[in-house]
Structure 1
């Protein structure tokens, strides 16, 4: 990891930490929850070695990037604004976009608001969340899974932070990162408890070393979880803000990658949406759906080499496409 360079840049009124390596066309990596630029460590080394400028920021509220205090500072417009400013700062018109989890959600918004800045998009884990104009996002999730569904449990400011503090940062991160339980994460009301993973192993999986976990823990010990949880607290606000884009299609070329044990893929009627035509209708240039066997949610880390190959070949395919 010593080969990766780090700098702090000013974007959209905040200071953003960026990890980067290599020269060439820009590949922009956007992490999810509860993650950091470090989630892309394997991809940064791989893509930079193949002639690309790999760039992975800590999103606002995470790691060494500033964390505005107000919940209202974490809407889709704020986060996409940060990324557009970063793309401008990198001095390029377009980037190849690779994003995972909450980063994937932000990636869809970036493709929706500024498709001119994205050459092609490799989306990991979270497909486009089709906007229902009649039901707010969190209300729809609550109706499907009840008040104990993790996104519902994340809504009240301070509540989940206090429950996470009771079990400790390392427990929260290890519990999440090692989760291989299909289906929607349900937390008992009033505690974090076993959280995402009731079957949390004593030992770490082969793809996550203690040094890796220690790095995540060191950063979240400094920042806490409020910034990252504030993304979830803007689900309904984002629903309101994106009303003008109801029914809008994403026209950027897309490859989607998930794992057959992924908690997103195995809940929320996702399999039906992904495979039965709904996803393709919303994203007409969806070129391929990859389901990695025996792989869970953090596929960019768990199946790094396979994911790297998928990213590289999709980028190569679109490297010479005409810039819009």
Structure 2
């Protein structure tokens, strides 16, 4: 099988770095924070071996893609615009869409804005949360989890950057990627206080850490933080989609140790019927035991197989 190929594609006024491999029906992978296309390295090779064209960009603000300084440049309108332009540039009409973390959030928005471009969706870790017209997301998070919740700590420019810059980039990546505490992270003293693992878990190598660190060492983390900082602006701009459903065939996968799965009310919503009402073509929810948040890396073969088993039906 050919090696993963890398290219830079102009789209939506910026340049996006793209990793891709294989030929056949296209699968578009969207990463989260603090991650890169590299988070999908296992899935790219697996899906390509099964006859698919696997494509994973560095989303704007990450890796070798353009990093824009203003949080107002990171709404779902911008991100989905980048992806539509990317597909148009590649001559792809429809894709299978796969997202994780912020990539999952953007995948939900992609399906909301342009369901005509999506054959089916597999989303990891972050379930679809419908827009609440009566309270902004940030105000809701502060009310529910307080000012020391990490989402809130990321809001003020410079503060989170200083926190993440308090240790070397490789150490911060080790701290972040190996978090396994399922309780929502209430972090009054910053992420630098997280324990650094003495040894890496089997699914994560020093080479992996070096790759992440080399990229974030150049760009910093501001691009990623800007997704959090654009949350309320995104809420304002998505008013026209209040009450809208996600109407593409969907599979949702989450680890039972994922902190998002343990947010107040999340399990009840996911399993109690609320999720299905908002995503009526939701075909399956898979909960993987012993898996935490970075599930596509931690349980790479399982996730690759679950994605393949779903999309091969279409």
Aligned counterpart, 1:146: 146
- What is the alpha-carbon distance in structure 1 between the residues aligned to residue 266 and residue 172 of structure 2? 26
Structure 1's unaligned 5+ residue stretches are 319-324
TM-score (norm 2): 0.98
Aligned counterpart, 1:226: 222
Q: Aligned-pair RMSD on alpha carbons?
A: 1.2
CA contact (8 A) 1:259 1:294 kept: yes
Which of 255, 258, 261 is equivalent to 1:265? 261
Deviations for 1:66-101, whole angstroms, at most 9, x for unmatched residues? 011222111110001000111111212100001100
Structure 1 residue 2: Cα displacement:
8.3
Q: Aligned pair in 2 of structure 1 residues 193, 199: CA closer, same or farther (>3 Å)?
A: closer
Q: Does 1:158 align with 2:158?
A: yes
- What is the alpha-carbon distance in structure 2 between the residues aligned to residue 223 and residue 70 of structure 1? 14
CA contact (8 A) 1:179 1:200 kept: no
- How do residues 270-281 of structure 1 correspond to structure 2 at under 5 angstroms? 270-281=266-277
TM-score (norm 1): 0.95
Aligned counterpart, 1:241: 237
- What is the alpha-carbon distance in structure 2 between the residues aligned to residue 3 and residue 317 of structure 1? 26
Deviations for 1:206-237, whole angstroms, at most 9, x for unmatched residues? 00000001100000000000011000001111
Aligned counterpart, 1:289: 285
- What is the alpha-carbon distance in structure 1 between the residues aligned to residue 241 and residue 12 of structure 2? 23
- How do residues 23-34 of structure 1 correspond to structure 2 at under 5 angstroms? 23-34=23-34
Deviations for 1:185-211, whole angstroms, at most 9, x for unmatched residues? 11115x4332xxx45421110000000
Q: Does 1:216 align with 2:212?
A: yes
- What is the alpha-carbon distance in structure 1 between the residues aligned to residue 149 and residue 31 of structure 2? 22
CA contact (8 A) 1:174 1:213 kept: yes
Aligned counterpart, 1:127: 127
- What is the alpha-carbon distance in structure 1 between the residues aligned to residue 62 and residue 173 of structure 2? 14
Structure 1 residue 170: Cα displacement:
1.7
CA contact (8 A) 2:169 2:217 kept: yes
- What is the alpha-carbon distance in structure 2 between the residues aligned to residue 273 and residue 303 of structure 1? 24
Aligned counterpart, 1:15: 15
CA contact (8 A) 1:28 1:98 kept: yes
- What is the alpha-carbon distance in structure 2 between the residues aligned to residue 159 and residue 301 of structure 1? 29
- What is the alpha-carbon distance in structure 1 between the residues aligned to residue 183 and residue 125 of structure 2? 13
Structure 1 residue 267: Cα displacement:
1.2
Q: Secondary structure of the residue that 2:305 maps to in structure 1?
A: helix
CA contact (8 A) 2:171 2:196 kept: no
CA contact (8 A) 1:20 1:56 kept: yes
Aligned counterpart, 1:193: 192
